[in-house]
Amino acid sequence: MKILITGGAGYIGSVLTPTLLAKGYEVTVLDNFMFRQNSLADCCQYDTFNIVRGDCRDESTIKELLHDTDVIIPLAALVGAPLCGRDQIGTQTINYEAVKLICDLASPEQRILMPVTNSGYGIGTSGKYCTEESPLRPISLYGSTKVNAERTVLERGNSITFRLATVFGMSPRMRVDLLVNDFVYRAFYDRAVVIFEGHFKRNYIHIRDVAKVFVHGIENFESMKDKSYNVGLDDANLSKLELCAEIQKYLPKFVYSEAPIGEDPDKRDYIVSNARILNTGFETDWSLGRGIKELIKGYTILRNTLYSNV
Ligand SMILES: NC(=O)c1ccc[n+]([C@@H]2O[C@H](COP(=O)([O-])OP(=O)(O)OC[C@H]3O[C@@H](n4cnc5c(N)ncnc54)[C@H](O)[C@@H]3O)[C@@H](O)[C@H]2O)c1
């Protein structure tokens, strides 16, 4: 089976791509390497790995790549509200229009599996479990372009979308801006965090379980298709304060306090039900605690010392 991944050199793609290659799939990655990342270097050993440096908005590139593809995984995006705020035209064209381009050009038999954010579930639903039927009403441009892309993919049919919780864990293209990764980094190096909206609840999922759910979706496509699935840890619908308490178990010197120093652009405060994906037979392997231990090892290696002698 041949798989095309746009944005496959990103945080998620750099774990998903080697996972698929190791399982014997033929994988082509299209990426513009906007972070100058070398995270797929280890994949080049596979004869079944192809790489294209290019832009996912380029019609002729996409047309050519679609000729020889069974499954399409669109990951390319400007990810997160701050980055999207800095490049709003890029956000609209990469996060939404490039996905629509794939939907327009792909044949009906080609399968699409795409991750989207679940930000926006929480508005006005504090304390209530959100299912896939709950309305998604994102506020930020990031959230709304992802929700529009999801609608386009599901309307096109022969597709699956995964509404991912906040992802955590180590990747060869690391992101320390994600909530768990960020807090563990600060706990490890600064021993302190000041939190805003500390009682707001979020949910979380390890990056290797994200790779696993894509494999699960590919392997069970016929029975799962034409639906969206929440993907998060069922036992980790935790507030930011509870997350800090969990981190403190592994880094006992860590201290945290709360102050009104910011606001979430998507006002996320919600608990999510993962019953639909669990009912398809999917199981997660990575608890929050296991991921925190992994991050502590990873941060012993990664250290931001560009402008310091320490
Ligand atoms: N990380 C999360 O918590 C999370 C949660 C929900 C959904 N997602 C979705 O997963 C996908 C991947 O996210 P990520 O965390 O790996 O982000 P990332 O920023 O690490 O990866 C994005 C990748 O897209 C590439 N890219 C950007 N613009 C491009 C363009 N015009 N043409 C080709 N490539 C381009 C970048 O070089 C990068 O490799 C995104 O669609 C994101 O919305 C992520």
**In the chain, which ranges are E strands?**
2-6, 26-31, 49-53, 71-74, 111-117, 129-130, 159-164, 166-168, 192-195, 201-206, 227-231, 237-239, 255-258, 271-272
Residue 292 beta carbon below 6 angstroms from any ligand 1 atom: no
Task: Return all residues near 130 (Cβ < 8 A) that are at least 6 apart.
Answer: 118, 121, 122, 230, 270, 271, 272, 273
Query: Does any domain span residue 243?
Result: no
Q: What token pair was written down for 33? A: 């390497």
Residue 73 beta carbon below 6 angstroms from any ligand 1 atom: no
Token look-up 């929480």 returns 122
Residue 100 beta carbon below 6 angstroms from any ligand 1 atom: no
Query: Does any domain span residue 34?
Result: yes
* Ligand 1 atom, smallest distance to 14 CA: 16
* 255-303 pLDDT per residue, tens: 999 888 877 766 677 788 999 999 999 999 999 999 999 999 999 999 8
CA of residue 210 to ligand 1 center, whole Å: 13
Name the residue at shortest CA distance from atom 1 of ligand 1.
167
Element of type H or E holding 17:
helix 13-22
Query: Does any domain span residue 215?
Result: yes
In this prediction, residue 236 carries a pLDDT of 82
Residue 174 beta carbon below 6 angstroms from any ligand 1 atom: no
Whole-number Cα distances in Å, 310 to 20, 187, 306 = 39, 17, 10
| 3-class secondary structure, 34 | coil
Name the residue at shortest CA distance from atom 18 of ligand 1.
10
Name the residue at shortest CA distance from atom 31 of ligand 1.
55
Name the residue at shortest CA distance from atom 6 of ligand 1.
117
C-alpha Rg value of the chain to the nearest Å: 19
Query: Does any domain span residue 249?
Result: no
Query: Does any domain span residue 44?
Result: yes
Task: Return all residues near 284 (Cβ < 8 A) that are at least 6 apart.
Answer: 205, 206, 209, 212, 233, 234
In this prediction, residue 305 carries a pLDDT of 74
* Ligand 1 atom, smallest distance to 80 CA: 43
DSSP 267-293: ----EE--HHHHTTT------HHHHHH
Query: What pTM value is reported for the model?
Result: 0.95
* Ligand 1 atom, smallest distance to 39 CA: 39
Name the residue at shortest CA distance from atom 30 of ligand 1.
55
**Cα 234–chain centre separation:** 17
- Closest C-alpha to 195, from 204, 186, 203: 186
Task: Print the domain residue range for 32.
Answer: 2-235+266-301
CA of residue 290 to ligand 1 center, whole Å: 24
CA of residue 75 to ligand 1 center, whole Å: 5
* Ligand 1 atom, smallest distance to 146 CA: 43
- pLDDT in single tens digits along all 310 residues of the chain: 999 999 999 999 999 999 999 999 999 999 999 999 999 999 999 999 999 999 999 999 999 999 989 999 999 999 988 899 999 999 999 999 999 999 999 999 999 999 998 877 766 566 678 899 988 888 889 989 999 999 999 999 999 999 999 999 999 999 999 999 999 999 999 999 999 888 888 899 999 999 999 999 999 999 999 999 999 998 888 889 999 999 999 999 999 998 888 777 666 777 889 999 999 999 999 999 999 999 999 999 998 777 777 6
- Closest C-alpha to 238, from 180, 278, 299: 180
Query: Does any domain span residue 250?
Result: no
Residue 201 beta carbon below 6 angstroms from any ligand 1 atom: no
In this prediction, residue 237 carries a pLDDT of 84
Element of type H or E holding 85:
helix 81-86
Name the residue at shortest CA distance from atom 25 of ligand 1.
7
Amino acid 109 reads E
CB atoms within 10 A of CB 49: 20
Residue 33 beta carbon below 6 angstroms from any ligand 1 atom: yes
Q: Evaluate whether 2 touches 26 at the Cβ level (below 8 Å).
A: yes
Residue 21 beta carbon below 6 angstroms from any ligand 1 atom: no
CA of residue 14 to ligand 1 center, whole Å: 10
CATH number of the domain enclosing 139: 3.40.50.720
Measured at the alpha carbon of residue 199, what is the angle toward residues 194 and 204, in degrees to the nearest 5?
Answer: 90
Query: Does any domain span residue 279?
Result: yes
Query: Does any domain span residue 259?
Result: no
Our mutation pick for probing the ligand 1 site, out of 14, 19, 79, counting the most ligand atoms within 8 A of Cβ, is: 79
Give the chain's domain count. Answer: 1
- Closest C-alpha to 229, from 271, 277, 284: 277
Whole-number Cα distances in Å, 8 to 50, 136, 195, 271, 286 = 11, 26, 32, 29, 22
Whole-angstrom distance, CA of residue 178 vs CA of residue 6:
21
- Closest C-alpha to 112, from 76, 156, 151, 147: 156
CA of residue 259 to ligand 1 center, whole Å: 31
